[in-house]
Amino acid sequence: MAHITALRVQSSNPNRVSVFIDDEYAFGLHIDLAMGLHPGQELSPEEAAALQKQDVRAMGYERALHYLSFRPRSAQEVAQYLKGKGLDEEDAAAVLERLQQARLVDDAAFAQFWVNSRENARPKGAWALRAELRQKGIADKHIAEAVADIDEQASALRAAERKAQQLAGLDEGTYRRRLTAFLMRRGFGYAVARETVDRLWDEQRARPLA
């Protein structure tokens, strides 16, 4: 049976402790995991391996918290991020489960956040929003709930207002074609796009000449 001969806080990271077994560096641990260890303690290979697995997951959790600090993420985004940081599928799943239990990762809440963000900054049609959320691994039931209350006509009008100003002065045919194409690229259906273009064109014609 091997023995822990020293525990030293790492100078480069005070949250990590170097574990020495039989006077040789063996591995590093998060300081919380090292709190239960002491010099002279016996440590079997199985116990050492278990500690290192806990450490991998603890580091993965901290990295995930940093990743989540920028904006909410879907479960799929977090899982892909953790795998990109070297966690295997089992460890990534364990970290993700811990995050979900803490409600730090919640796909239903993420879907609503995504839709609200789009509505406030860059309105898109329900079709485009559904496609974006599916790409992020969101289940259809959460997508349906998130887009249920969208007023596509109002969203299309907000999305088109600035573009319409840029197109002002063009002949009617060109104006209509370009603005309709713009809205359809944003994921709005043809009927919604056409009604929006009709309204904006009529408003433009009604403005008095400067």
> What pTM was estimated for this model as a whole?
0.83
Q: Which residues pair with 2 in a beta bridge?
A: 43
29-76 pLDDT, tens digit each: 999 999 989 999 999 999 999 999 999 999 999 999 999 999 999 999
The two structure tokens encoding residue 92: 């990534």
Measuring CA to CA, how many Å separate 100 from each of 59, 78, 85, 86, 145?
Answer: 17, 11, 19, 20, 19
Classified as helix, coil or strand, 108 is helix
Distance, in Å, from the CA atom of 125 to the CA atom of 187, rounded to the nearest integer, reads 4
Question: Average pLDDT of 167-196?
Answer: 95
129-171 pLDDT, tens digit each: 999 999 999 999 999 999 999 999 999 999 999 999 999 889 9
The confidence score (pLDDT) of residue 169 equals: 86
Distance, in Å, from the CA atom of 149 to the CA atom of 152, rounded to the nearest integer, reads 9
The confidence score (pLDDT) of residue 208 equals: 60
pLDDT tier for residue 98 given thresholds of 50, 70 and 90: very high
> Residue 71 carries which DSSP code?
S
Classified as helix, coil or strand, 17 is strand
